[in-house]
Amino acid sequence: MYLVKWFFGILFLLLPAISVCGQDTLLPITYSHIDDCVMQYPKGFALPDNHVRPSDSLPSKWMLSHKPLRLSGNKTPEKLLIDFFPVMEIWGGYDSQTSKLIKQGFMGAGVNLLWKNSLHFFAFAGAGMSAQPAYIDSITSLWGIIPGTATAKPITNGTYQFRHAKVSLAYRLHKYVTAELGYGKNRFGNGIRSLYLDDVASPYPYLRINSHLGKIRYTNLFCNFYDIRGSQGQRDNFVNKYAAMHYLSWDIIPWLQFNAFEAIVFPNRNQNGSGHFFEPNYLNPVIFLRPVEYAVGSPDNSLLGGGLSVRLLKHYRIYANVILDEFLLSRIRERKGWVDNKQGLQAGIVVQQPMNIKHLQIQAEINWVRPYTYYHRNSLQNFAHMNQPLAHALGANFIEYFVRADYFFFRNIRLQANLMYAKIGYDSRGLSYGQNVYQPMHLRPSEFGNVVGQGLFTRVLLLSTTLNWNPDQLSGLSFFASFIYRQSVNVESQNKSFIPTLGIRSQFMPFNRFF
């Protein structure tokens, strides 16, 4: 075991670039949301700090002081630490659009284990029932999933059963290299949204290798996604698809960070689509898979991305990211809206302690994604999983403005407000205008003249406020009250929803409703 450990350590140290975690501690799982940070670990556990979420923000730093309930591991902390914790989300509310009560009840349990700061195991699982607001229920009834969790089994009209789980086993191969095998989610990028890989879809199996050396961090991520169309929610009918991704983060100077991203998505290599056949050429850990793709004569779907993050005057950070699905400069210069020029842009700013208000952070960003980005000629190779986009929750063919404010006060109360305004071009009259990444390419109406917002032009306004009260810092449970106002307007319909909710939840069960 000792020789194997050093073999992998030396192998990855020879790579030209290295991971998403700059800590000299064992990496925990990749958490889905900043809310997960509220359930923290006793002294000795590795804290999440992997540059894939805003862990350096003032609110999240404040919440990192919390500790969970410790049931064992007190006598031998240098060898073994174990924590058990509840996972739950119980809430009720009202949707004015349908004049119906909405609700969700989820119960589960989890365990967090660290052994000699070399092996970290995390898992939770549970089941629940849900009756969601109309705009979410329309997705569930059409695609058979509750966004962000799993497939949904209808019980009665508008009520569904679902299960949700995350599992991770991380092992430190070397001081600078950690391997993580899990079933969960991953996220790359530094915005509210991500144009690379976001955490809005359902969990999936993955292998993640994080490495770091000085100011350079590098991640290899290998994923098993599922195409569940026509499966009727039966696991045996899911079609396997795979992805190999690389993410590089480099702190060039203390106030300037560069990142690069690439991904290859490809279907099962077996002729009948069954079983598990991962293309071995994509196991190459070195960044830039496109030459490998050409070498194997592959028609697979590839994406490239890059970005910068700049800190200014201590309390300000600006960032920008670009994603390229297809790119031909000559076609862009023509300005004719060629269908295969598929790109996305993100720009944002983070302000900490505006007007010297402690524990307040404001973040604003713009996201712009051209039609048909994340598509592919073979829909089994689109950048999606279980009928959900893997990047931005809105798919493609949109421009979005998003503002978020986080404020902490009285040590255990958090207030968050979100404002989203988006212009989206939905599919219409049986044609694909570039928003739904699952639509076949032959349904595109035109090769040229494609612009953001084409199709059924829709304006969506969403205002959300949530007040969280965490009375017991050890349990990780919090009471919350939230209010959502959502308006969707186009030439065919106009929908308005007022959605107040009250409930209690653990911090591993946040629900993303920002779409």
- Tell me the average pLDDT across 296-315: 82
Cα–Cα separations (whole angstroms), residue 119 to 18, 168, 174: 20, 10, 12
Sign of CA dihedral 124, 125, 129, 130: positive
- In angstroms, how far is CA 266 from the centroid of its own chain? 20
Q: Which residue has the higher pLDDT, 475 or 492?
A: 492
Q: Which residue has 């406020």 as its token pair?
A: 465
Q: Does pLDDT of 381 surpass 80? A: yes
Q: What are phi and psi of 105, to 5 degrees?
A: -130, 120
Give burial (CB, 10 Å; 0-12/13-18/19+) of 130: buried
For the stretch 189-217, pLDDT in tens is 889 999 999 988 999 999 999 998 889 99
- Tell me the average pLDDT across 317-331: 86
Cα–Cα separations (whole angstroms), residue 259 to 8, 318, 358: 25, 14, 30
197 within 8 A of 390, measured Cβ to Cβ:
yes
- Tell me the average pLDDT across 250-267: 91
Q: What are phi and psi of 280, to 5 degrees?
A: -65, -25
Instruction: Quote the tokens at residue 99.
Output: 């004049």
- pLDDT value for 26: 36
For the stretch 72-118, pLDDT in tens is 444 555 577 787 778 889 999 999 999 999 999 999 988 888 887 78
- pLDDT value for 337: 81
- pLDDT value for 278: 66
- Tell me the average pLDDT across 506-515: 72
For residue 349, give every residue at least 6 positions away whose Cβ sits within 8 Å of its Cβ, in sequence order, or none. Answer: 316, 317, 318, 319, 363, 364, 365
229 within 8 A of 438, measured Cβ to Cβ:
yes
Strand runs labelled E in 380-455: 384-385, 388-389, 398-409, 413-426
Give burial (CB, 10 Å; 0-12/13-18/19+) of 394: buried
Count CB neighbours of 243 within 10 A. Answer: 25
494 within 8 A of 79, measured Cβ to Cβ:
no
Task: Report the share of the chain in percent with pLDDT over 90.
Answer: 46
Query: CA-to-CA distance for 24 and 51, rounded, in angstroms?
Result: 14
The closest alpha carbon to 375, from 340, 416, 424, belongs to 340
Query: CA-to-CA distance for 41 and 69, rounded, in angstroms?
Result: 9
